[in-house]
Structure 1
Amino acid sequence: MSTIEPTDLSKADAANELMRLARIIAKHNKLYHAEDSPEISDAEYDALIKRNNALEEAFPDLVRDDSPNKQVGAAVASSPLSKITHAQRMYSLDNGFADEDIAEWIARVRRFLNLPEGEPVAVTAEDKIDGLSCALRYEKGELVLAATRGDGQIGEDVTANVRMIADIPQVLGIGESSLLQTDSPTPTPPLKGRGYDIPEVFEVRGEVYMAKSDFIGLNTRLMEEGKADAAVKNIDFDPAKIRQFANPRNAAAGSLRQKDANVTAKRPLKFWAHGWGEASSEPGETVFDVMASIASWGIPVSPLMQRFETLDQMLDHYRHIEAERADMPYDIDGVVYKVDRLDWQKRLGFVAKSPRWAIAHKFPAEQAQTTLENIDIQVGRTGKLTPVGRLKPVTVGGVVVSNVTLHNRDEIERLGVRPGDRVLVQRAGDVIPQVVENLTRDDVREPYVFPDHCPECNSEAVAQEGEVDVRCTGGLICPAQRFQRLAHFASRAALDIDGLGEKSIAEFIEAGFIGSPADIFRLHTHRAAILARDGWQEKSVDNLLAAVEKKRSADAARLLFGLGIRHIGVVTARDLMKNFTTLPKLAEVATAARDDEAVREEITAIDGVGPTVAEALADFFHEPHNRALWDDLLSEVTPPDYIVETRDSKVAGKTVVFTGKLETMSRDEAKAQAEALGAKASGSVSAKTDLVVAGPGAGSKMKKATELGIEVIDEAAWAEIVKAAG
């Protein structure tokens, strides 16, 4: 199955792939439903269906009569496993790729905690195994639930399958610690067992994985079973028809997510813990102590986990593990560092997707050579022209790579790439493919000429002063931008309109039903016309229109993010709405910001919002067609005032400015406290400021606060406000 994104395919290539998918899926439907002899796992079958659906949504006019979605009895593209909502969100990790990234992370931790110079930051370091994240919930020491990470908030129930993994105890008890002494620099003594000191509720988090030797053995067994099956059926054996797993991680994931736990039982899966989630109590005050307890209960943990107090020790351990990587019995892709003290972890908290108290130090990417066959230009929803390199497929780090982003015009010039060049490719962080070097740069050929007009609408394509990105100036008249902007507006991260997927959006644009976000809320005027179109029934139309109506009072931050204004992502949209509370107020300030420096400073003073965002807002509302689009949208929707859920406090709803040197906490921690209390943390003092918290050395901000008659308190008084809020 192709790994090329549907939007990267030509129409002819998409038609050919849809034809192949229709035949392959029909074959497996017959094997599963009629002959009860499936050749592939449920996960692999679902991947085929998902790919087919993605192609049909991208190319609605290519939907075939024999499409799997039109066949009675065809399996649906959904997991056979039930969903589980995690008691505590399972976050991902921020990544670092260079020693300097790790040094900066340590520095950020020190700044946030406001640690005095010389106070060490103890950190645990362990190898980052390449497996499938899984949470194991134990109650009174007994395993009661197991779930995959999923999207971090909702995962899949894999309890029955996890019970088939020998590494995972059904009942916690006394076990041998697997945190063993190693020859790593400055090793920590082996952990001591803690017996039956087990909390009432404790969720162990870790990775389900497959050892390299077991992975090879599984693929060999699948091949042998294919040979035996061919012999029984008296047919020629074709190795190409045997579906084998691409790498140990895929093998582990496919094996764990089986509908039939008996299949999982036949797969050589392993587990080790790297942390925990919900816990009625924590058996230790540090990561290392808690992991010692987990190990003593009989759950495997990394044998390479160590605790260090200096950056040099951490990096030495990283290089030791990196040197042993190829010979390890399992796949790893880096080393994970965690702040050891749990009280410090609680203070550090989380950002949008990851904890501040942990980071993954990734290994350098693997590399391979191949040929750059072509350069295509894609137009994004903001009009950005992105060059995409089409490669002769090559395997890099166990994954077949056939496309690579070339980023922008300057990057093409820097690399000097042209179709036909031989290039060195790597997967950055073992994930994102990128061109490292042009190996035939000196060959005599005409240079690649970057287009100065949009390939979609032929509008002029230009780069603004100081920017490297070339953008189409067509806006919503550009088909690529119109479709992608409307798809973004209706997407899950924005308005999340159920039933209005990319396929429907493309159909409605083509039919002339929608051309702007506000038009979505006028779809009810086209009800009869939609009903007359192929594939639409009364129930599906009414469900769609009902879903649209529900979004007339959608969250204001989601509406703002959905408009796709440059530099305004999900988090920034929330930060803006926390400050302005209503969309009309935001528009009023943003409109004035273009010609009024004081107003612009009011925007840039918002914590997390800077001059780039302020300029983007001002530019957006300066354009008459954007303002018309905005007014048209607000004529159709009535979002409620944006309310931030916070603890009750005397500063809720007020604007607080911190100035001077804070002695018991960092500026970042103080701002985080203010937001948790319902206050707005600003970076400058104005007439709209309600409270100034001044430490030693407070200067012009304190002076201005005094002149304006604004209340000024010291750090101790602020601590009392925080304490009183509970």
Structure 2
Amino acid sequence: MPDSSAVQQRILALTERLHQLNHQYYQLDISEVPDQEFDQMLAELHQLETDYPDLALPNSPTRRVGGTITKQFPTAVHRYPMLSLGNTYSEDDLREFDERVQRGLEGAPYSYVCELKIDGVAMSLRYEHGQLVQGVTRGDGTRGDVVTANVRTIRTLPLALRPGPDQPEDFEVRGEVFMPLPVFAELNAEREQNGEPLLANPRNAASGTLKLQNSAQVAARKLRFYAYSLLTPGRHFASHSAALEALSRYGLPVSDTWRRCANITEVLDFVHYWAKQRHEFPVATDGIVIKVDDLRQQDQLGYTAKSPRWAIAYKYPAEAARTRLNEVIYNVGRTGAVTPVALLTPVPLAGTVVKRATLHNANQIELLDLRLGDLVYVEKGGEIIPKITGVDLAARPADAVPIQYPTLCPACATPLVRPEGEAHFRCPNERGCPPQLKARLEHYVSRRALNIDGLGAETVGRFFDLGLVTTPADIYDLPARRAELVTLERLGEKSIDNLIAGIEASKQVPFPRVLFGLGIRYVGETVAQKLAAHYRTIDALMVASAEEMAAVPEVGGVIAVAAAHWFQQPENQALIERLRQAGVQLAVTGEAPVPASDRLAGLTFVISGVFESHSREELQQVIISNGGKITGSISKKLSYLVAGDNMGPAKREKALALKVPIISETELMALLPSSEDEPAVSEENVIAATGLGSQGELFS
């Protein structure tokens, strides 16, 4: 058996090396080692932490994947209040601010630091001896929510700092957690395909993500962080600009867009420059923050009751444009959702020329009372997605035509349906509607699903139009049709070789991503991971009832009904069999967990409510590992209802009416042989279930 001190040294060495590689990869765009070597080090660290859990470090690189379940977020008092800044939309106000600073400093020379105002969520991070120990939201400025487990999943945020001679032992970093624009656009595109409401803007998306109870879901959202200040009990640096430079040396991400300005004229130059350039920045911004640079001068200027006198935020006014609505077209998505899109007379807006705007659904058209030919006002939601916000009724032409929402699918003429409680009309022709078939193929080959190199959306769409592929299984017949492929224009021998290699490589993609790639309605990445981890094989999933699936944590009734219906369709069963013959991964690899006991064999449980010592997922794992079964509804055959706080009264009443025993969390644990038999939900299990691991996936 290895000496524990040697194991500890190996864990420390691996941790330090992986932190260094992550810094190079995300901060410097340097990939020093191949992904395979990175994966091997990460896997070794996982194994050591599994074998020696007492030696695992709280800021291990393995924490990036998430997996912590938080039933409620505790609060913490900020050591330094997180005050808000005074805002202005006027350049004249900036000049007045400068005059106040000049008077307050009694004519002494001073300078400013200007920074882009990132449109995200303010966050306070605490580092002790170079290690991240706490992350707290702004809250009310005095007290915020502790979201440390979620913050640890942010890939660009160092969990352990690079040491430096001027690094304080205990300090706070203030900064902004945000969702990059490409990630936000990708998330909304997926939600639109699934018929879910679009997120309003990246700020709201980031805020909602930080409040998710499952940190594995947070990790999947790919949040980022920029630091903008450093706070210590004493004055550790002479200026704000020196502190920003120190944060960068420590390895913290600081936007390189900040500038030291000698006077208000240079400040206004900075404001004017970014008024246009910010639209090229891959992060949502809504203004400029201006701060007096010298920290002693900041102290001299002091504070009002709500904000510092040495800083101000200039906010760019929302840009809007007025243009004509010429036509409405209707796009059919992967799930059959029909989305109306407005075609506009081209108009400049926020750095781009806008020609189209989303109308979301029939309700939005009715709410705006839109007519063809209307002059409409267009803004960019979160400065990303153009949207129509109103109509110039005074300019409405007398012959403006009311918009009639189609009753037939614009692609295949199938009568549209509108399920109860849904905003979208849908085309139910899943098997014959060309846009749906093409979109499902594009989804299957996408980066987050099978990620087939050489077979992007454009190529797969072309193959579909040529009749070469109509289902994902057809993709695996393409290598045998090489002679046919070489006759196609713009597809050379090298491209075909890359395509065939990509198809072959996709056979090794883990089962959770294959399940996600099948495009089952409501089954996103997280749900696919949960179902794959629970059932482990596609065969077990195919015979599971909707009721059984609904009992899997974070799945729920609507998702379960859709998934069970999908697996019951003969066409989908045939698709799965063809994928199996092609060699696609349809099971979780590795050995199944060894049952702790058979103490609960033959018993079925419903888990409902919030519990003191365990998450619902942990209780489910306890029951399953001891031979029990989980179900989603209460019936006479149910053995026990495990009741926590905030359980719905309907379940309790039904259990009482059917005389089903209701037990507490403590009583459930008393049914087990001993507490030692309770399995833990480890990071290793989460990673094995998700299939994530490479440097470019787990930490991208």
Q: TM-score, normalised by structure 2?
A: 0.53
Q: Does 2:691 match 1:703?
A: no
Q: CA 1:134–1:209 in structure 2 vs 1: closer, same or farther (change >3 Å)?
A: farther
Q: How does 1:434-445 map to 2 (within 5 A)?
A: 434-440=387-393, 444=398, 445=400
Per-residue CA deviations over 1:487-517 (Å, capped at 9, x if unaligned) read 1111101100111112321332233221111
Per the alignment, residue 534 of structure 1 pairs with 489
* 1:695-718 deviation per Cα after TM superposition (whole angstroms, max 9, x unaligned): 799975992679xx976469x959
- Which residue in the other structure is 1:62 paired with? none
Classify 1:660/1:386 alpha carbon distance in 2 versus 1 (closer, same or farther; 3 Å). Answer: closer
Q: Within 2, Cα distance between the matches of 1:683 and 1:126? A: 48
Deviation for aligned residue 1:609: 0.8
Are residues 679 and 558 of structure 1, via their aligned partners in 2, closer, same or farther at CA, if it must alter by over 3 Å? farther
Of 597, 600, 614, which residue of structure 1 is paired with 2:560? 614
CA 1:544/1:141 → structure 2, altered by over 3 Å: closer, same or farther? same
Which residue of the other structure, out of 106, 122, 130, is the alignment partner of 2:118? 130
1:175 aligns with 2:163: no
- Over 3 Å counting, the alpha-carbon distance change for 1:488 and 1:304 in structure 2 is farther
What is aligned with 2:139? Answer: none
Q: 1:721 to 1:525 in 2, by over 3 A?
A: closer
Letter in 2 for 1:434: K
1:54-69 superposed matches below 5 A: none
2:355 alignment partner in structure 1:
402
Counterparts of 1:312-331 in structure 2 under 5 Å?
325=313, 327=314
Contact 2:368 2:390 in 1 (8 A): yes
Structure 1 residues 525, 686: CA separation in 2 closer, same or farther (over 3 Å shift)?
farther
2:560 pairs with 1:605: no
Q: CA deviation at 1:518?
A: 0.5
Mapping of 1:8-407 within 5 angstroms?
82-83=30-31, 112-113=72-73, 124=82, 129-130=117-118, 139-141=162-164, 174-176=236-238, 178=240, 202-210=250-258, 217=269, 247-249=276-278, 325=313, 327=314, 367-396=320-349, 400-407=353-360
SS in structure 2 of the partner of residue 571 of structure 1:
helix
TM-score (norm 1): 0.51
1:69-93, Cα deviation, whole Å (9 max, x unpaired): xxxxxxxxxxx9655899969999x
How much does 1:651 deviate?
9.0
Alpha carbons of structure 1 residues 134 and 426: separation in structure 2 relative to 1, 3 Å: same
- Contact kept? 1:378, 1:387, Cα under 8 Å: yes
Change (3 A) 1:640 1:453: closer
Structure 2 residue 500 is matched with structure 1 residue 452: no
Note closer, same or farther for the CA distance 1:725–1:463 as it changes in structure 2 (3 Å cut).
closer
Shift in Å at residue 586 of structure 1?
Answer: 0.8
C-alpha offsets along residues 390-446 of structure 1, whole Å, 9 cap, x if unaligned? Answer: 233445555554321101122212211122212233333333332222332976433
Pair 1:633-2:579 in alignment: yes
* 1:363-390 Cα deviation digits (max 9, x unpaired): x965443332321211212222211112
Residue 548 of structure 1: aligned partner: 503
Which residue identity does 2:393 align to in structure 1?
T
Q: Secondary structure, in 3 states, of the residue corresponding to 2:72?
A: helix
Cα deviation code 1:211-251 (max 9, x no counterpart): 6976974899xxxxxxxxxxxxxxxxxxxxxxx97634357
Task: Give SS of 1:535's match.
Answer: coil
Which residue pairs with 1:510 in the alignment? 465
Deviation at 1:601, TM superposition (A): 2.2
Q: Separation in 2 of the partners of 1:382 and 1:580?
A: 24
Residue 364 of structure 2, aligned match among 396, 411, 415: 411
Q: Which residue of 1 aligns with 2:528?
A: 573
What residue is the counterpart of 2:188 in the other structure? none
Which secondary structure state, in structure 1, belongs to the residue aligned with residue 422 of structure 2? coil
Q: Does 1:464 align with 2:419?
A: yes
Q: Quick check: 1:559 aligned with 2:514?
A: yes
Q: CA deviation at 1:536?
A: 3.1
> What is the aligned partner in structure 1 of residue 382 from structure 2?
429
Residue 634 of structure 1 aligns with an amino acid whose one-letter code is R
Local SS of the residue matching 1:371: strand
Q: 1:522 to 1:112 in 2, by over 3 A?
A: same
- How many correspondences in the alignment? 476
Amino acid paired to 2:72 = F
Distance 2:669 2:161 in 1: 51
Q: How does 1:685-704 map to 2 (within 5 A)?
A: 703=661
How far is the alpha carbon of 1:544 from its aligned partner? 1.6
- 1:461 is paired with a residue whose SS is coil
C-alpha separation between the residues in 2 aligned to 1:551 and 1:678? 36
> Does the CA-based 8 Å contact 1:693-1:713 persist in structure 2?
no
Instruction: Confirm whether residue 498 of structure 1 aligns to residue 453 of structure 2.
Output: yes
Change (3 A) 1:480 1:605: same
Task: Look up the match of 2:19.
Answer: none
User: Contact 1:556 / 1:642 at 8 angstroms: preserved in 2?
Assistant: yes
Closer, same or farther: CA 317–397 of 1 in aligned 2, 3 Å: farther
Contact kept, 8 Å, 2:372 with 2:402, in 1: the verdict is no
Query: Which shifted more, 505-514 or 397-406?
Result: 397-406
Give the Cα separation in 2 of the matches to 1:605 and 1:245. 51
Conserved? CA contact 2:279–2:351, under 8 Å = no
Change (3 A) 1:134 1:369: farther
CA distance change for structure 1 residues 480 and 552 in 2, over 3 Å: closer, same or farther?
same
User: Which amino acid in structure 2 is aligned with residue 371 of structure 1?
Assistant: R
Q: Secondary structure at the match of 2:386?
A: strand
Contact 2:378/2:388, CA 8 A, preserved across alignment: yes
> Which amino acid is the alignment partner of residue 432 of structure 1?
I
Is there any run of 5+ residues in structure 1 with no aligned partner, and where?
1-79, 93-108, 155-161, 180-192, 221-243, 255-269, 274-294, 307-312, 332-363, 594-599
Measured after TM superposition, the shift of residue 633 of structure 1 is 3.0
Cα displacement string for residues 131-167 of structure 1 (whole angstroms, at most 9, x for unaligned residues): 9997799633289xxxx9898999xxxxxxx9xxxx9
- When residues 505 and 272 of structure 1 are mapped into structure 2, their CA distance, relative to the original with a 3 A threshold, is farther
Q: Is the 8 A contact 2:596 2:678 kept in 1?
A: no
Q: Structure 1 residue 520: deviation in Å?
A: 0.3
Gaps of 5+ in 2: 1-27, 39-59, 86-115, 121-154, 167-178, 184-218, 221-225, 685-700
Q: How many Å separate the matches in 1 of 2:682 and 2:427?
A: 54
Report the counterpart of residue 444 of structure 2 in structure 1. Answer: 489
Instruction: Provide the C-alpha distance between the structure 1 equivalents of 2:523 and 2:445, rounded to a whole number of angstroms.
Output: 16
| Distance in 1, Cα, partners of 2:646 & 2:391 | 54
Superposed CA RMSD: 6.2
| Paired amino acid for 1:141 | G
Is the Cα–Cα contact under 8 Å of residues 421 and 438 in structure 1 kept in the other structure? Answer: yes
Q: Shift of residue 563 of structure 1?
A: 1.8
Alignment-derived partner of residue 72 in structure 1: none
Q: 1:138 to 1:531 in 2, by over 3 A?
A: same
- Residues 250 and 418 of structure 1: is their aligned pair in 2 closer, same or farther, counting only changes over 3 Å? closer
Alpha-carbon spacing, 1:477–1:251, altered in 2? closer, same or farther (3 Å): closer
